[in-house]
Amino acid sequence: MNLIRSYIKIILQIFFFISIFNTINAKNSDKFYEADKISNYFSGTLSFYDNDYARSYRYFNKLDGLGNNHYRYSKLYQYSLINLERVKEAFDYSIRLESLGLNSFESNLIIGVYYLKNKKFNKAEEYFKKLTILGKDRTITGFLSATLNNWVLFSKKNQNEALKLINDLNPRFENIKKIQLILAHCFFSSNNTSVKFKELTSNEKTDFSRYNFFHVNYLSQQGKKKQAIEILNNSLKKSPQNLILNQLKVDLKNENYEDFSNQFNCSEAPDILAEIFYITANLLSSQNLYSASNFYLNLAKYLNPKFTSFETLYAENYYMIKNYKKSKKIYNKIGKNGYIYKWFSSKQIAKILIKQDRKEEAINLISKNFKQLDQPDVFQIYDYADFLKNNEMFEKSVLYFTKILDSIDKNHSLFAKTSDNRGVAYERLSKWQSAEKDLLNSLSVKPNDAYVINYLAYSWVEKGINIEKSLGMLRKANKLKKNDGYIIDSLGWALFKLKKYEESEKYLEQAVRIMPSDPVVNDHYGDVLWKNSKFLQARYFWNYVANLKDAENEIKKNVKKKITFGIN
């Protein structure tokens, strides 16, 4: 890691001198060549790409004046400010750049959003118009530019004109266009709004279940509470663990809209554009572009700070970049917005604590929060049981998995995975008959679950039973899930047990390539190499296993014997 950082520093140094030389005249550049200025630029840039925005801000803030001639610096500084939620400061800085005749996408966007939030719509329109030079661009920024410009104009347009503007957007972003069309119907209080929401959420190709929230929210604001609750209940039957819908169900019991965990008004352009920014942030997050995602997410939060759902992506982004302290802080904030969010946050914080090797603290936290749930439903019980199983509390997990299975039938969405997980827990408790029964029950409902097939078949192979049957099952699993290292290893191991060593080696070699650090896979590969008279290579892989930090002691003990004596 340090070596990579060193290379980055060298590249940045070269970039710095080239860019400064090309953009700043010699008369004004001397002060930026000073060692401390260069150091601040490097440190700020490295901190930014480490997603440490507080540090990047501190370093960049010492380079006052550099942005007057250096666009790259200005952009990173603006991103740092927005990602620290310092929108007013970013606005002031962008205005200052504009006064110097410096325009950029980021500056116009920040200024326009600031004016939009403060209901200076004509000023917002002025700055969003400047973005439309990118309107025909096929990138997300080009699409966003056209979208922003459209929505500030809609108060001056009729419904048909607005819908035409949306339809004229780049077809590359078809799903976002569909969402905008629905929101436009809502914005103009169209009689077709509810019908259009139903059309969108019933789409079988794309998951638009999130927009059931907006549909129910719209109906409840129209005073159609009975209809809203009916649609909400139907939505939860299809997506029973949808976070925003479950919290909405709780919120609807409260007559005071101001206390809702997620507040949204489709007649307000800032609320709609906040959702568009969220969609953009979600898209960028899915591409691992977390700094850019947080930039748009913070603009969304600025426009509609009373929408808790935005915070869930924000916390997840920080979790993905391993900033666990910030992620926990956001989850704690989310947990104050209703008991559904509180349970969700406790699970996420427990996951972080596990990552931080604070297992006991994680178990205490989630157990405490589970006990505080008033009559937990089967999904919440499943969450708790699954957490216990994943943290090797197998006996206790079995109790809760059993509680679920005693209260549901085979048609329930939880039956297959609850049976599977209880079967795994039983297997780890050496209760094979119970485990086998549960795994078979799971497959009776979902016969094409490759992972359950793999677990059952591999267990049979290890016990030396049903090996021929296991081989057929594992070939099926391998077709269902291509390039899965665990399944490929199981398939190779079944072939090994049937003494089909040449074919076994082919699969086990593939498994090692996919999972080069897995001790079991490497041990299996060493065994088949030995059986194929490749003794030197076999000992190489066994030696590798013996020196793996994460290998269990029993495996290390066995491979050391094989290194000395081989396999009979």
Residue-wise pLDDT for 505-555, tens only, equals 999 999 999 999 999 999 999 999 999 999 999 999 999 999 998 899 999
| pLDDT band, residue 136 (cuts 50/70/90) | low
pLDDT for the residue numbered 21: 40
Beta strands, E only, 197-353? none
Average pLDDT of 242-253? 92
> Is 461 within 8 Å of 499 (Cβ atoms)?
no
pLDDT for the residue numbered 362: 97
pLDDT for the residue numbered 505: 98
pLDDT for the residue numbered 24: 42
Residue 253 makes CB contacts below 8 A (sequence gap 6+) with: none
| Distance of alpha carbon 556 from the chain centroid | 36
In single-letter form, the type of residue at position 348 comes to Q
CA pair distance 525, 47, nearest whole angstrom: 42
If you ran DSSP here, which 8-state letter would residue 204 be given?
S
Q: Smallest Cα–Cα separation from 356: which of 321, 393, 324? A: 324
| pLDDT band, residue 72 (cuts 50/70/90) | confident
In single-letter form, the type of residue at position 32 comes to F
Q: Smallest Cα–Cα separation from 215: which of 199, 238, 203? A: 199
Position 59 pLDDT exceeds 90: no
Length of the chain: 568
Give 490 or 251, the one with higher predicted confidence.
490
Average pLDDT of 463-472? 96
pTM: 0.87
What token pair was written down for 218? 């719209």
Residue 210, SS3 per DSSP: coil
- DSSP labels for 355-407? HTT-HHHHHHHHHHHHHTSSS--HHHHHHHHHHHHHTT-HHHHHHHHHHHHTT
pLDDT for the residue numbered 67: 58
pLDDT for the residue numbered 568: 81
Q: Which residues pair with 307 in a beta bridge?
A: 262
What token pair was written down for 544? 């590798």
Q: 77-106 pLDDT, tens per residue?
A: 999 999 999 999 999 999 999 998 888 899
Virtual CA dihedral for 281, 194, 232, 167, nearest 10 degrees? -20
pLDDT for the residue numbered 147: 92
| pLDDT band, residue 65 (cuts 50/70/90) | low
Position 387 pLDDT exceeds 80: yes
- DSSP labels for 285-321? HHTT-HHHHHHHHHHHHHH-TTBTHHHHHHHHHHHHT
Average pLDDT of 268-292? 95
Domain chopping of the chain, boundaries: 1-102, 322-371
